[in-house]
Structure 1
Amino acid sequence: MKENSDGFVRADQIDLKSLDEQLERHLNKVRAMDKNKKPDDGHLSSVAAAATADSTKTIAPTFRKDRQAWEIDPSKLIIKTVIARGTFGTVHRGIYDGQDVAVKLLDWGEEGHRTEAEIAALRAAFSQEVAVWHKLDHPNVTKFIGATMGSAELQIQTENGQIGMPSNICCVVVEYLPGGALKSYLIKNRRRKLAFKVVVELALDLARGLSYLHSQKIVHRDVKTENMLLDKTRTVKIADFGVARVEASNPNDMTGETGTLGYMAPEVLNGNPYNRKCDVYSFGICIWEIYCCDMPYADLSFSEVTSAVVRQNLRPEIPRCCPSSLANVMKRCWDANPDKRPEMDEVVSMLEAIDISKGGGMIPPDQQGGCLCFRKYRGP
């Protein structure tokens, strides 16, 4: 783990093991203990159990009455099936105090595989996410319910009963959004594309959420369709604050390649100081992706994208059928100069002003349409 000069730990550098592997090791250990247990070792088992209990209390105290406002009661949480896996951990369906939730599990290093300094860094990264998220309240931001930083009471419910989790596991509990990731929705509509009205609605949801975050002095730093979730009414909600942070008053305090290639602003790719305008750039790429239902720079390698975006001002090609009102928003948002990019509240106003009843086009009337999404009506 590395720390920046301001003490902020980059969560995007945390390399967490698969939860499945952790559970398998945990189960194998339990099976081995049961297999090796002898009839006359009851006293030894009791001593070992007591030692383990003492050790658990030292590593992760049980639920406290003087807990912080964002801490959950682990005894009220039921963790069920896996719904997503990623670099930062595993996301499960769950129930907390009778409410349908999503549970993001993080591992701080089982069986001594991490040093105390590494675990401390992971705690800091975890606290960063919680500190950012628990104060937020907006219809286009995933609702934060609570979290716990290691607990002996966490269990996963399986077909064969419940499995106790290692005490170094921590979790974030948020509202469950049945629509899944926006990226998955776009992939499903890759052939037919989306109706222009739907495109603008999705873009507005994302723009309003980002405008709210920026009003709270929060820079998300990893804006991409994969980190946007849909509820049952297809409302977009911003999720995953693993690399979000409070915006520094001095842009020089915010440096480093944080985010996802293809969505990262040139100044971020170049390792230069940046501010909330890096989110505006990423938003511009997201609008293109929502309109085209396609991947940006699908045919280029990582190194080619980095070089071309920074040195050659490469941007995704806007289809000629894209209404100029929307194309102009894209172009302004992904301007190479951060100062020329609009603020997100201005982007909201620009999108609200678009006439979705007619659409309009970029192609002159005397030219024939040449791209695959050229047709009178888009979408189902």
Structure 2
Amino acid sequence: MKGIFKKQPAIFLGLMITAVFLVLNIVRIDFLDALELKFYDIRMGHREVPAGSEDIVIVDIDDSSIDKLGGWPWPRALITRCIETLHQAGPRLIGLNVIYSEPQESSGLKQLDLLMALIRQEQSRSGERILRAMTTARNELDNDSKLADALRTAGNVVLPVFLKESAVVADGRKETDPDIIAQSLDAAENETGQGAHSNEITLPIPPFFKAARGVGHVNLAYDVDGKVRRDALIYRYRDLYIPSFPLKIATLSMDISNSQIQAVPGETVRLSPDITIPLTQASEMLVSFRGAEGTFKRYSFFDVINNKIPSDIFRGKIVLISPSAAGIMNPLTTPVSGRMSTGEFTANAIWSILNKQFVRQPSWDRMAGFGMIAFIGLLTAFVLPRMRAVLSGLTFIGLVGLLLGSAFYLFVSEGLWMQITYPFLQLILGYIGVASLNFLVTESDKEKVEGESAETNRMLGLSFQSQGMLDMAFDKLRKVPVDDEMKAVLYNLALDYERKRQFNKAASVYEYIEGHDPEYRGVAERKSKLIQASETMVFGDNFLTGGTAGNDPLLSTGTGTRPTLGRYEIQKQLGKGAMGVVYLGMDPRINRTTAIKTFRFADDFEPEEAEKMKQKFFREAESAGTLSHPNIVTIYDAGDEQDLAYIAMEFLDGEDLQKYTKKKNLMPMRKVIDCVADIAEGLDYAHERGIVHRDIKPANVMILKSGVIKITDFGIARITASSQTQTGVVKGTPHYMSPEQISGKKVDGRSDIFSLGTMLFQMLTGELPFRGDSPAALMHQIMNVRQPDPRKANPRILKPLVAIIDKALEKDRSRRYQRAIHMAHHLRALGKKIDEVIARKKVSDQA
């Protein structure tokens, strides 16, 4: 055995898995059987249901009826009233799924019986009159007699019985009540399939039993997962076979007598030459469900007895009276519903019989399982290991499709249940095992070849280096003999480590080169500088002291090497923001100048939160990267490296609008109109794509030297807001925030319109519309106080422009501009009128 495992491990593994599943198919495991039943339920949900007639109606003893008629059990007079009402409607058959095994207790009847007995002893005339009156009164109180009379009058009511399962069957036909014998079925002896058996039976009280058209047991058969999929058509009571409640109703509805039924326990129940019901070995019928809960028409018991349901509904139908109210009958879990009432389950079982919709589990199913396991075992042990990976995978997929498809087709179209869980799991485990072994063997051979081939390691190292996987590159390059060519390769690798600010690793590469050639290109000196640079780094803050770039953590390498972020070379620092630094970068692939904005989430967040914020950052950057508009800065790329996340964007040669909010630097009103209109158009473009800026202010809008307006920091504002919430520090004063933004409501594009209105007010007047001595006072102003008239600060502002500002700064966002493009249209129209007035004035002056 050990020799086989060493030489042919796939064969050994395939045979071992096969042996395990052969044993499992014998002993059976509840968990695996439950998986098979899950697949059974999926197939049951896809069976085609024939368009049968609506022959079955349910009278539901529901929660509503309990609330209106009182707690259960009800006085039997209510059931009598229901039977009488239904009888008048003319149903084909009534199934009353309530077992009345004891007479109804009545203290009044007991007292009347005592008094009547005393009067009979007296035997006087007056006593006889009193006795007749008391007899009449007793009959009025005897609800059991009334219900028995109603059952007898209807003549078509089927009642339930219940059997308690026993370990051993008693032999006692002669001791059994003849009425029960009359209700039983004749069945052929069959040792292979008997099903459940019982020595105890719970019957309706004799008056009800004798008045009923027939009886059937209501015992339920639960599977290992607690669901009900079967109906025990015949249940052995002593040496009799009692039909199930659904079977009794179905046969009586087809006028089939007990003598016509031929039953073979564990095999079939034959009702007629064209109706043969297949049974499991436990003498159960697999119910074919017509549909989920609510498929059959249901009417409340209360509505029926109060004549709120037209009698035509029940005429000629099978009517089932069954409880579903909480506390009376627990709902059943079935393949098609998690809360099916007992009445609906009974209706499905009857429907299956009447419409000959049967599911058959063949007796040879277990042997077929052994055959499939053996076949798959031979395939996984001897065939799949000899195939190439692609062909083996395709064969596996084909076998899975064949196994699932055939089982699905046979069940849905032919009603044949083939159990495939064991061979299916064997196929999956066998394929995974064989594929894993082949992979391990291949990888082992590959490593051996790599160890023997220096050229292969060199090529792999260069490939890893080109992809930025520097650690893997160094691991491969160290396996290559060091010659002059390899020294140059390793030196370039060390420079890449420097650019990535991984100084210790760069020093390790220089040290490796130094071990082979101490004089090579000053590697000893570079190593010393890098060790010194790494020792001066405060790792908790990612901060460098000294160096060539002051306190900038990215530029302070101390070795003269130009750092990189991703593929971008960092040229210099452009400025600092709330969450990071902005650098001038260069994309060497296409020689394009870019602005690189960096973010340090580790500074403000715990490690887990920092990772979540980084993921959120990339989602926002991805959204912003989809925007392509002349007035929105273009996002080229986003990435992260060590402790830095970054966005590469269009480099803007200009300045922000903050300068033009001061009174001494205000732009001409006509130019302000055009600038704000450009911003509004850019915002509307973003809003239409579901992106809200959230931080529109002069510092986030650039005016280029060419005069073009560019909105910056799309997608950044949400990240900044999260950072402020996390740290508990508000960075900056929220002069431009909308009322809904301050109150914490979900914001949309109208919030940006409010911010733009604030910005327009400031650029025209040099003042902010809302001010306060504290953030709280400022927020109160924004949310509750109307903005002042801008003409008080700048009387030259036109009245239509004031109207535009007022509409943009409405506290109620439903009264604000609903789209930024509407604000842009008003501004453009106003600008055009101003131009026309100026043009007419020039013409007038020239004249």
* TM-score over 0.5 for the pair: yes
Work out the CA distance in 2 between the residues paired with 1:89 and 1:258.
Answer: 13
Cα offset, 1:192, TM superposition? 4.7
On the 8 A contact 1:83/1:92 being kept in 2, the answer is yes
1:232 and 2:741 correspond: no
Cα offset, 1:77, TM superposition? 1.3
Cα offset, 1:125, TM superposition? 2.9
Q: Which residue of 1 aligns with 2:628?
A: 137
The DSSP-based 3-state class of the residue aligned with 1:198 is: helix
Q: Which residue of 1 aligns with 2:717?
A: 243
Work out the CA distance in 2 between the residues paired with 1:351 and 1:276.
Answer: 18
Q: Which residue of 2 aligns with 1:182?
A: 657
The DSSP-based 3-state class of the residue aligned with 2:667 is: coil
1:106 to 599, 603, 615: 599
Cα offset, 1:75, TM superposition? 5.9
On the 8 A contact 2:584/2:595 being kept in 1, the answer is yes
The DSSP-based 3-state class of the residue aligned with 1:356 is: helix
Work out the CA distance in 2 between the residues paired with 1:106 and 1:358.
Answer: 48
What amino acid does structure 2 have at the position aligned with 1:209?
Answer: G
1:349 to 810, 813, 825: 825
Cα offset, 1:356, TM superposition? 2.9
Q: Compute the RMSD of aligned alpha carbons.
A: 3.7
2:687 to 214, 232, 236: 214
Work out the CA distance in 1 between the residues paired with 2:679 and 2:704.
Answer: 13
Work out the CA distance in 1 between the residues paired with 2:606 and 2:773.
Answer: 38
The DSSP-based 3-state class of the residue aligned with 1:338 is: coil
Q: Which residue of 2 aligns with 1:77?
A: 568
On the 8 A contact 1:285/1:296 being kept in 2, the answer is yes
Q: Which runs of 5 or more residues in structure 1 are unaligned?
A: 1-25, 53-72, 151-166, 246-256, 361-380
**Mean CA deviation greater in 201-210 or 113-122:** 113-122
Q: Which residue of 2 aligns with 1:61?
A: none
On the 8 A contact 1:221/1:259 being kept in 2, the answer is no
Work out the CA distance in 1 between the residues paired with 2:565 and 2:587.
Answer: 9
The DSSP-based 3-state class of the residue aligned with 2:814 is: helix
**Which protein is richer in helix relative to its size?**
2
Q: Which residue of 2 aligns with 1:20?
A: none
Deviations 1:244-298 (A, max 9, x none): 59xxxxxxxxxxx999611111122122343221111111001112222444546
Cα offset, 1:225, TM superposition? 1.1
On the 8 A contact 1:288/1:316 being kept in 2, the answer is no
2:765 to 292, 303, 306: 292
Cα offset, 1:320, TM superposition? 2.8
Q: Which residue of 1 aligns with 2:396?
A: none
Cα offset, 1:339, TM superposition? 0.5
Work out the CA distance in 2 between the residues paired with 1:136 and 1:259.
Answer: 27
Count of matched residue positions in the alignment of Structure 1 and Structure 2: 273
1:313 and 2:791 correspond: no
On the 8 A contact 2:770/2:787 being kept in 1, the answer is no
Deviations 1:45-69 (A, max 9, x none): 9xxx9xx9xxxxxxxxxxxxxxxxx
What amino acid does structure 1 have at the position aligned with 2:717?
Answer: V
What amino acid does structure 1 have at the position aligned with 2:709?
Answer: V
Work out the CA distance in 1 between the residues paired with 2:617 and 2:601.
Answer: 10
On the 8 A contact 1:90/1:105 being kept in 2, the answer is yes
Distance 1:126 1:337, change over 3 A: same
What amino acid does structure 2 have at the position aligned with 1:105?
Answer: T
On the 8 A contact 1:177/1:232 being kept in 2, the answer is no
Distance 1:270 1:76, change over 3 A: closer
Give the alignment of 1:1-380 within 5 angstroms. 74=565, 76-97=567-588, 98-109=591-602, 115-150=606-641, 167-187=642-662, 190-241=663-714, 242-244=716-718, 261-297=734-770, 300-314=773-787, 317-318=790-791, 319-342=794-817, 343-354=819-830, 355-357=833-835
Work out the CA distance in 2 between the residues paired with 1:341 and 1:81.
Answer: 43
Work out the CA distance in 1 between the residues paired with 2:737 and 2:664.
Answer: 26
Deviations 1:137-176 (A, max 9, x none): 00010011112122xxxxxxxxxxxxxxxx2212101111
Work out the CA distance in 2 between the residues paired with 1:269 and 1:115.
Answer: 26
Distance 1:317 1:292, change over 3 A: closer
Work out the CA distance in 1 between the residues paired with 2:697 and 2:744.
Answer: 19
On the 8 A contact 2:600/2:645 being kept in 1, the answer is yes
Deviations 1:75-133 (A, max 9, x none): 641212222212221111222231121110112428xx964312212212321321221
Q: Work out which structure has the larger RCO, using CA pairs closer than 8 Å and 6 or more positions apart in sequence.
A: 1
Cα offset, 1:216, TM superposition? 1.0
Deviations 1:202-232 (A, max 9, x none): 1111111111111112111111111111222
Indicate the structure (1 or 2) with the bigger Cα radius of gyration.
2
Work out the CA distance in 2 between the residues paired with 1:75 and 1:174.
Answer: 13
On the 8 A contact 1:107/1:169 being kept in 2, the answer is yes
Work out the CA distance in 2 between the residues paired with 1:295 and 1:80.
Answer: 37
The DSSP-based 3-state class of the residue aligned with 2:674 is: helix
Work out the CA distance in 1 between the residues paired with 2:607 and 2:835.
Answer: 59
On the 8 A contact 1:222/1:260 being kept in 2, the answer is no
Distance 1:259 1:266, change over 3 A: farther
Distance 1:308 1:185, change over 3 A: closer
On the 8 A contact 2:580/2:598 being kept in 1, the answer is yes
What amino acid does structure 1 have at the position aligned with 2:602?
Answer: G
Q: Which runs of 5 or more residues in structure 2 are unaligned?
A: 1-499, 517-526, 535-563, 720-729, 839-847
Work out the CA distance in 1 between the residues paired with 2:731 and 2:820.
Answer: 20
Distance 1:244 1:117, change over 3 A: closer
Work out the CA distance in 1 between the residues paired with 2:580 and 2:610.
Answer: 15
Work out the CA distance in 1 between the residues paired with 2:568 and 2:732.
Answer: 31
What amino acid does structure 1 have at the position aligned with 2:690?
Answer: K
On the 8 A contact 2:578/2:731 being kept in 1, the answer is no
**Mean CA deviation greater in 276-285 or 94-103:** 94-103
Work out the CA distance in 2 between the residues paired with 1:214 and 1:299.
Answer: 30
Work out the CA distance in 2 between the residues paired with 1:132 and 1:292.
Answer: 35
Work out the CA distance in 2 between the residues paired with 1:136 and 1:352.
Answer: 23
Q: TM-score, normalised by structure 1?
A: 0.63
What amino acid does structure 2 have at the position aligned with 1:102?
Answer: A
Q: Which residue of 1 aligns with 2:338?
A: none
Distance 1:236 1:103, change over 3 A: same
Q: Which residue of 2 aligns with 1:69?
A: none
Cα offset, 1:306, TM superposition? 0.7
Distance 1:268 1:114, change over 3 A: closer
Cα offset, 1:344, TM superposition? 0.9
On the 8 A contact 2:599/2:645 being kept in 1, the answer is yes
Work out the CA distance in 2 between the residues paired with 1:328 and 1:197.
Answer: 16
Work out the CA distance in 2 between the residues paired with 1:221 and 1:192.
Answer: 26
On the 8 A contact 2:580/2:597 being kept in 1, the answer is yes
